[in-house]
């Protein structure tokens, strides 16, 4: 077996060299600190102030969000009752959706107020203002999908079926759920057919049949798929009136006249 020799101890000269190097490094560090004392202290102070500012800002935002949530809850009773103008303008006891959206727009609750204000404006027929607020909404999830669907419905009303179809498709994938996705795909198919894009309509309907079997929309899609495929091989342009879908898909039927999103839908 080979013998492993123990490490050799440092000679006095080598030990002295290490000590001199360490002392030199400490000396240079001290010199650097002395030469840049003000800069170093300033950087450290700035970092401390930045950390304090971030904590303070987050605390302030949390407090504002809590305050906004209370105000939003108070005015949503008017929205859910169909009193859309009162919901927008506010009452004697609560500020309106427009004020909450403007005052607390940087918070998640302010974003919710923006969506509800957009939908209230849509219900009142003020589609231009509604479109601006739907586009301003920056959240995601169910409300984000509904905001896209709101834009799509307005595009349909304005006769831009191709834009509407694309927005409905985005809404369908923005928040995938059997409660909303199949309905938005049906809306997209209808808009595609109105735009003369039968292949895209067929793809949307096929997606419902294949991916969302068992939903009410799947039965409707299966029936309409044959017509869409026939249209894809036909010549000429699609004709006929297009009725915009509600902003929020109804999960109990293929068509619905109630497009009000309630607080319970957000739970």
Is the pLDDT confidence value at 259 over 80?
Answer: no
Tell me the domains of the chain and their CATH numbers: 45-127 (no CATH), 140-267 (1.25.40)
Instruction: Label residue 256 by pLDDT band (50, 70, 90).
Output: very low
pLDDT higher for 138 or 40? 138
Tens digits of per-residue pLDDT, 59-90? 655 666 678 889 999 999 999 999 999 999 99
Using CA atoms, how far apart are residues 134 and 116, in angstroms rounded to an integer?
9
Among the listed residues 56, 61, 162, the one whose alpha carbon sits nearest the alpha carbon of residue 108: 61
Using CA atoms, how far apart are residues 93 and 82, in angstroms rounded to an integer?
18
DSSP per residue, 195-253: TT-HHHHHHHHHHHHHHSTTSHHHHHHHHHHHHHHHHHHS-S---S--PPPPSS--SSS
Which residues, 6 or more positions from 130, have their beta carbon under 8 angstroms from its beta carbon?
118, 119, 121, 122, 150, 154
* Mean pLDDT on 168-183: 96
Q: Which of 15-19, 30-34, 179-183, 209-213 has the lowest mean pLDDT?
A: 15-19
pLDDT higher for 188 or 1? 188
Is the pLDDT confidence value at 20 over 90?
Answer: no
Q: Which residues of 19-29 are buried (b: 16+ CB within 10 A; e: fewer)?
A: eeeeeeeeeee
| pTM exceeding the 0.75 threshold for the entire prediction | no
Q: Report the share of the chain in percent with pLDDT over 90.
A: 52
- Chain-centre distance for alpha carbon 51: 28
Tens digits of per-residue pLDDT, 196-213? 998 999 999 999 999 999
Which residues, 6 or more positions from 123, have their beta carbon under 8 angstroms from its beta carbon?
82, 84, 259, 260
Is the pLDDT confidence value at 187 over 80?
Answer: yes
Which residues, 6 or more positions from 34, have their beta carbon under 8 angstroms from its beta carbon?
none
DSSP per residue, 152-188: HHHHHHTT-HHHHHHHHHHHHHHS--TTTHHHHHHHH
8 Å CB contact between 204 and 169: yes
| Biggest distance spanned by C-alpha atoms of the chain | 100
Give the mean pLDDT of the chain. Answer: 79
Using CA atoms, how far apart are residues 76 and 250, in angstroms rounded to an integer?
20
66 C-beta neighbours (distance < 10 Å), count: 11
| End-to-end CA, the chain | 74
Using CA atoms, how far apart are residues 180 and 208, in angstroms rounded to an integer?
11
pLDDT higher for 48 or 203? 203
């Amino acid at each position: 077996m080979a013998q492993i020799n123990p490490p050799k101890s440092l000679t006095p000269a080598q030990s002295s060299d290490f000590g001199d190097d360490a002392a030199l490094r400490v000396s240079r560090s001290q010199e650097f600190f002395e030469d840049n004392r003000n800069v170093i202290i300033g950087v450290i102070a700035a970092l401390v102030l930045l950390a304090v500012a971030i904590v303070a800002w987050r605390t302030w935002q949390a407090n504002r969000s809590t305050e906004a949530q209370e105000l939003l809850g108070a005015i949503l009773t008017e929205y859910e009752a169909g009193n859309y103008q009162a919901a927008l303008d506010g009452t004697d006891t609560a500020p309106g959706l427009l004020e909450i959206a403007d005052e607390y727009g940087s918070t998640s609750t302010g974003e919710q107020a923006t969506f509800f204000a957009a939908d209230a404006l849509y219900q009142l027929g003020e589609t231009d203002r509604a479109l601006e607020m739907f586009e301003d909404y920056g959240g995601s999830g169910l409300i984000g999908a509904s905001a896209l669907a709101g834009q799509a419905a307005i595009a349909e009303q304005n006769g831009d079926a191709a834009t509407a179809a694309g927005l409905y498709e985005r809404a369908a994938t923005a928040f995938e759920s059997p409660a909303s996705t199949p309905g938005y795909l049906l809306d997209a198919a209808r808009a595609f057919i109105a735009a003369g894009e039968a292949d895209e309509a067929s793809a949307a309907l096929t997606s419902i049949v294949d991916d969302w079997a068992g939903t009410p929309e799947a039965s409707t899609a299966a029936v309409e798929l044959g017509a869409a495929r026939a249209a894809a091989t036909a010549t000429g342009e699609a004709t006929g009136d297009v009725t915009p879908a509600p902003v929020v898909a109804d999960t109990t039927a293929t068509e619905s006249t109630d497009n009000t999103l309630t607080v319970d839908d957000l739970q």
